[in-house]
Amino acid sequence: MSVSEINAEIRTEFGKGGARRTRRAGKTPAVLYGHGEAPKHLSLPSLEFASAIRYGGMTNVLTLTFPDGTKATALPKAIQRDPLKNTYEHADLLLVRRGEKLTVEIPVHLVGEPARGTLVMQEQDTIAIIADATRLPDQLDVSIEGLDVGERVNAGDVTLPVGSELAADPEALIVMITGSPTAAEMEGETAAEAEAEAGEPGGEGESAGSAES
């Protein structure tokens, strides 16, 4: 579990214009809501917030400290990101309390090496669990050590942290181990793809025929 402390300020400007001014000031617009309380519009230091998310992800517990000394504990719920600038444009934060149970998607981390000559097919990147909001794991380790062709790992096979329980279907497939293609099979696939491309409209075969006519 990751915990980050961030100074937060109450935002008094709203709308697109207010959000742009907040970003120009080096801060990220955010909204804090939950537990039936009125939403609070916040501004967070952009560099600190970005560092917290990149380090701890969406399970990072944020301790927000306000200018009057009060604090709030929150989890990132949704984040708008600018893919070109690689910056965070806006964040929705969920107010949480210690001992409160939440259903969250936790990233899957594969550990170990399967048997030689096999290929790992990962079907899901996350697993939904129910856990204490302030004690969420950063990831769930899924062992593939020594697994051979045909073996699989389902959600119900994954070891969960103490105090948490599975929210996903226990039979949901996480990882399947298959056989690696042989060199001959790969050459055959490459030849088949080349033949298919040559036979497509606009391919070399059709162009040659058009030139002769």
CATH level 3 topology of 3-96:
Ribosomal Protein L25; Chain P (2.40.240)
Residue 210: is its pLDDT beyond 50? no
> 23-73, pLDDT tens digit by residue?
999 999 999 999 999 999 999 999 999 999 988 888 899 999 999 999 999
The predicted model scores a pTM of 0.72
Q: Which CATH architecture has domain 102-179?
A: Beta Complex (2.170)
> 82-140, pLDDT tens digit by residue?
888 888 999 999 999 988 999 999 999 999 999 999 999 999 999 999 999 988 999 99
2: three-class secondary structure by DSSP: coil
19: three-class secondary structure by DSSP: helix
Residue 213: is its pLDDT beyond 60? no
List the chain domain ranges. Answer: 3-96, 102-179
